[in-house]
Amino acid sequence: MEQIRNLDQLLVYAKEVGPKKISVACAEDAEVMEAVENARKAGIANAFLVGNADKIKEVTDKLGIDLANYEIVDERGGEAAAALKAVELVSSGEAQIVMKGMVATANFLRGVLNKEKGLRSGKTLSHVYIHQIKGYDRVFFISDPAFNMYPELKVKVDIVKNVVELAHAFGVACPKVAALAAVEVVNPDMPPTIDAAILTQMNRRGQIKGCLIDGPLALDNAVSPESAHHKGIKSDVAGYADILHVPTIESGNMLAKAIVYFSENKTAGIVLGAKAPIVLTSRADSAEAKLLSIASACALAAHQGK
């Protein structure tokens, strides 16, 4: 497939490989239902709506959404039961994507990680933000800015592998991964620089495949060829990174939100590492971001289904 270089192209591609089936846990959520309806109208996804059928109808009536376009799974046993049922629809193969609705994240993830009916894959769950930023010829993948707080090296390896698979789903044949730190030299007093160097060496020895990793790289020389040249960095990744692998949740969270609030951008985000893509959006996310998150999950589901 051709590389997806912006999120408008993502919507086109998601329609080409769709519609995929989403299972929405506790669908009595107006903002989530608006996103799901937009995805349906765009030809990207159809959905099971799991939860209290009366409350779902109350929400969709206010939004003018015709429930005849959806399959309702009436589950009145509480949000934990609804979350588990939504996950079960995916693990059984009836849906390809699970999406969090009006349910606490902890209850939602308990369903995802349920030993009998959940979506455990043996991998680490990690989050990724996908950004289209004005002035760049590609999308950026930032991981992990939301799930793993201070990952040790083994977890960082899993995080990289997760996001590389997503980049492949976006048509990036050999994504360039910048293992970020505050500086671009190894400093024994700065553990992220050591982990970055180890990730780089693991990639060179074939322990992490399907990508090209270099680090430690500071943010400027990861995305700016001029900065990399000025600092004398000779690297196929420096200046041209697709994936920005962040060392901690603070650095990733701040970087992602700086992009959202300080640049002209479009943004999506999903959870990786389960047997199926997980859409877990924030109430602060725009309607467009929620739609693009669903589209990202559809692209990944299509890749995993090959």
Q: What is the largest CA-CA distance in the chain?
A: 64
Q: What is the mean pLDDT of residues 194-206?
A: 98
Model pTM score? 0.96
Q: What is the mean pLDDT of residues 193-221?
A: 98
For residue 262, what pLDDT band results from cuts at 50, 70 and 90?
very high
More confident residue, 286 or 68: 68
Q: What is the mean pLDDT of residues 4-19?
A: 97
Region label for 129, one of left (φ > 0), alpha (ψ between -120 and 50) or beta (otherwise): beta
The correct CATH number of 126-262 out of 3.40.50.2300, 3.40.50.720, 2.60.40.10, 3.40.718.10 is 3.40.718.10
User: Mind listing the pLDDT tens digit for each residue in 149-181?
Assistant: 999 999 999 999 999 999 999 999 999 999 999
Share of the chain above pLDDT 70, in %: 100
pLDDT of residue 103: 94
For residue 282, what pLDDT band results from cuts at 50, 70 and 90?
confident
Residue linked to tokens 């506790």: 26
**Ordered alpha helix ranges (H), 132-239:** 153-169, 191-204, 219-223, 225-230
* Whole-angstrom distance, CA of residue 140 vs CA of residue 167: 9
Measured on CA atoms in the order 90, 94, 99, 103, is the torsion positive or negative? negative
Closest CA to 163 of 126, 108, 207: 126
pLDDT of residue 280: 94
For residue 197, what pLDDT band results from cuts at 50, 70 and 90?
very high
Domain with CATH 3.40.718.10 in the chain: 126-262
Residue 285 has pLDDT above 90, yes or no: no
User: Mind listing the pLDDT tens digit for each residue in 103-141?
Assistant: 999 999 999 999 999 999 999 999 999 999 999 999 999
Domain with CATH 3.40.50.10950 in the chain: 7-121+274-304
Measured on CA atoms in the order 110, 170, 182, 202, is the torsion positive or negative? positive
Q: What is the mean pLDDT of residues 227-249?
A: 96
For residue 283, what pLDDT band results from cuts at 50, 70 and 90?
confident
Question: Yes or no: is domain 7-121+274-304 CATH 3.10.180.10?
Answer: no
Write down the mean pLDDT value for the chain.
Answer: 96
Closest CA to 126 of 100, 147, 140, 151: 147
pLDDT of residue 161: 98
pLDDT of residue 205: 98
pLDDT of residue 29: 92
Share of the chain above pLDDT 90, in %: 97
For residue 286, what pLDDT band results from cuts at 50, 70 and 90?
confident
Closest CA to 285 of 251, 255, 260: 260
User: Mind listing the pLDDT tens digit for each residue in 60-108?
Assistant: 999 999 999 999 999 999 999 999 999 999 999 999 999 999 999 999 9
